[in-house]
C-alpha cells in the first residue's frame, strides 16, 4: 500500500495549527473588543465572590441560580451603585464648572498671578483656562453618547458573571485543561491570580475611599470651597503612586495661601502632608502584606493603559492586565526555562 506523503511533516503541522488558532483568536478578540471591559469586570467579580458562592452552595445548600442572583444583587448594591453615584457627582460638578468657565478663571486669578510672578513671565492667563474649559465641554456630548455603550456592557457583564457563578469550578477545569502548564503551574496561577485580583480590585478602591474621606474632612476644616468634590478628586488621584493625592491638596494649599488665608493654607498643607500621606502609606503597606505587592511602575503603566483602553474602569483593569501578563511570564519561566 502506498501511503500518501504528508505535505507538512514534523512540527510544521503543529505550527500551522497554532497559527490558525492564533488568527481566529485575534479575529474574535477584535470582533468582541467592545465587551472586553465587561469580560474583565465579570472575571473580577467572579474571583471576589467565588468563595462566597461555594459557601452558599455547599454549606447552606442553596440552589446555584439563587446564590448567583444574590451575589449579583450584592455586587450591584455595594459596588455598581456607589460607582455610578461617584460618576454622577463628578459629572455634575464638571457641568457646573463648564457652565461658568469665566467664574472659575476669576476665582483662580490671584493664584495665576502668583505663578506668573514666580516664573517671571506670563505662562498662564484667564483665557487659557477658559479655552481649556471649552475644549473639555466639546467632549461632553461624546461622554453622553457612551452612556448606551456602558449600559450594554453592564448587561453583558452580569450575563457573563451569572454563567460563571452557576458553573463555578467547571469553567476553571475546562480552561486549565487546555493550558500548557503542569499541575504545579496551575496551582501558582490560581493562587496568584486570586491575590493580584484582590490587590487591584479591593486595595485600590479602599485606599481611594479612605483618602477621599480624610481629605474631604481636611478641606472642610480649613475652609476650601466644595470640600466633598475635591476630596473625591483626591481619592481618585490616590491610584497614582508617590504623588497621589498631592496633585489635589498641594495646589489647594497654595491657592489658600495665594488668597491671603495663610493659616488655612499652612494648616491644610500640614494636615495633608502628615495625615493623608501617612494614611496612604500605611494602607498600602497593610494591603501589600495581605494581598500581592503591586509594584508602583505596574500601577503607573496600568493606569495609563487602562484609561486609554477602558476609560474610568481602567484605573482597576489596567494594572490588573499588566499584573496578569507578568504572572504568565513568571509561570512560563518556571515551567519551561528553569526546568531546562
Mean pLDDT calculated for residue range 5-19: 66
Q: Where are the alpha helices (DSSP H) in the chain?
A: 12-31, 36-54, 64-75, 81-99, 101-107, 109-119, 126-137, 140-166, 170-178, 183-198, 204-221, 227-236, 246-258, 262-271, 277-290, 296-310, 314-332
Burial of 178 (0-12, 13-18, 19+ CB in 10 A): exposed
In angstroms, the CA 80 to CA 74 distance is: 9
Residue scoring higher pLDDT (8 or 209): 209
According to the model, what pLDDT value does residue 68 have? 93
Range of the domain at 325: 180-340
Q: Say yes or no: 168 and 281 in one domain.
A: no
Question: For 272-294, what is each residue's pLDDT tens digit?
Answer: 888 888 888 788 777 766 766 66
Owner of C-alpha cell 491638596: 249
Output the CA torsion sign for 94, 97, 98, 101.
negative
In angstroms, the CA 204 to CA 192 distance is: 17
Residue ending a domain, choose from 139, 157, 178: 178
Residue scoring higher pLDDT (145 or 235): 235
Q: Say yes or no: 339 and 256 in one domain.
A: yes
* 1 band by pLDDT with thresholds 50, 70 and 90: very low
* 331 band by pLDDT with thresholds 50, 70 and 90: confident
Cell reading at 196: 493580584
Q: Say yes or no: 279 and 261 in one domain.
A: yes
Q: Say yes or no: 227 and 246 in one domain.
A: yes
Output the CA torsion sign for 85, 313, 193, 47.
positive
Residue scoring higher pLDDT (33 or 6): 33
According to the model, what pLDDT value does residue 2 have? 47
Question: For 233-245, what is each residue's pLDDT tens digit?
Answer: 888 888 776 677 8
In angstroms, the CA 19 to CA 110 distance is: 63
Q: Give the total number of structural domains in the chain.
A: 2
Question: For 181-221, what is each residue's pLDDT tens digit?
Answer: 777 777 777 877 787 777 777 777 888 888 889 999 999 99
Q: Say yes or no: 272 and 130 in one domain.
A: no
Residue scoring higher pLDDT (166 or 193): 166
According to the model, what pLDDT value does residue 220 have? 92
According to the model, what pLDDT value does residue 63 have? 92
Cell reading at 5: 506523503
According to the model, what pLDDT value does residue 255 have? 79
- Domain assignment present for residue 260? The answer is yes
Which of 298, 294, 316, 296 is CA-nearest to residue 307?
316
- Domain assignment present for residue 43? The answer is yes
Cell reading at 270: 500640614
Pick left, alpha or beta for residue 9 (phi over 0 → left; psi -120 to 50 → alpha; otherwise beta): beta
Q: Say yes or no: 228 and 321 in one domain.
A: yes
- Domain assignment present for residue 270? The answer is yes
According to the model, what pLDDT value does residue 217 have? 92
Residue scoring higher pLDDT (122 or 224): 224
Question: For 65-83, what is each residue's pLDDT tens digit?
Answer: 999 999 999 888 877 777 6
In angstroms, the CA 217 to CA 139 distance is: 32
- Domain assignment present for residue 16? The answer is no
Amino acid at each position: 500500500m502506498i501511503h500518501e506523503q504528508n505535505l507538512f511533516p514534523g512540527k510544521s503541522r503543529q505550527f500551522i495549527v497554532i497559527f490558525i488558532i492564533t488568527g481566529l483568536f485575534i479575529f474574535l478578540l477584535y470582533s468582541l473588543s467592545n465587551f472586553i471591559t465587561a469580560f474583565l469586570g465579570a472575571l473580577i467579580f467572579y474571583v471576589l465572590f467565588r468563595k462566597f458562592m461555594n459557601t452558599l452552595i455547599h454549606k447552606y445548600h442553596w440552589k446555584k441560580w439563587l446564590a448567583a442572583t444574590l451575589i449579583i444583587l450584592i455586587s450591584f448594591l455595594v459596588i455598581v451603585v456607589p460607582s455610578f453615584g461617584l460618576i454622577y457627582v463628578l459629572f455634575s460638578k464638571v457641568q457646573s464648572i463648564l457652565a461658568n468657565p469665566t467664574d472659575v478663571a476669576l476665582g483662580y486669578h490671584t493664584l495665576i498671578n502668583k505663578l506668573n510672578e514666580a516664573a517671571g513671565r506670563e505662562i498662564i492667563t484667564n483665557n487659557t483656562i477658559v479655552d481649556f474649559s471649552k475644549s473639555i465641554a466639546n467632549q461632553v456630548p461624546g461622554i453622553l453618547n457612551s452612556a448606551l455603550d456602558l449600559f450594554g456592557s453592564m448587561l453583558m457583564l452580569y450575563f457573563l458573571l451569572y454563567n460563571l457563578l452557576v458553573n463555578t469550578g467547571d469553567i476553571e477545569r475546562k480552561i486549565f485543561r487546555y493550558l500548557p502548564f503542569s499541575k504545579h503551574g496551575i496551582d501558582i496561577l490560581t493562587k496568584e491570580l486570586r491575590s493580584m485580583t484582590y490587590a487591584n480590585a479591593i486595595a485600590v478602591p479602599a485606599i481611594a475611599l479612605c483618602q477621599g474621606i480624610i481629605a474631604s474632612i481636611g478641606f472642610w476644616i480649613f475652609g476650601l470651597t466644595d470640600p466633598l468634590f475635591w476630596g473625591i478628586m483626591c481619592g481618585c488621584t490616590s491610584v497614582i503612586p508617590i504623588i497621589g493625592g498631592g496633585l489635589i491638596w498641594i495646589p489647594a494649599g497654595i491657592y489658600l495661601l495665594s488668597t491671603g488665608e495663610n493659616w488655612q493654607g499652612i494648616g491644610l498643607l500640614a494636615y495633608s502632608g502628615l495625615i493623608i500621606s501617612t494614611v496612604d502609606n500605611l494602607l498600602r503597606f497593610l494591603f501589600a502584606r495581605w494581598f500581592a505587592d503591586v509594584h508602583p511602575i505596574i500601577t503607573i503603566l496600568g493606569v495609563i493603559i487602562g484609561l486609554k483602553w477602558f476609560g474610568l474602569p481602567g484605573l482597576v483593569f489596567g494594572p490588573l492586565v499588566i499584573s496578569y501578563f507578568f504572572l504568565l511570564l513568571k509561570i512560563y519561566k518556571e515551567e519551561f526555562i528553569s526546568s531546562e
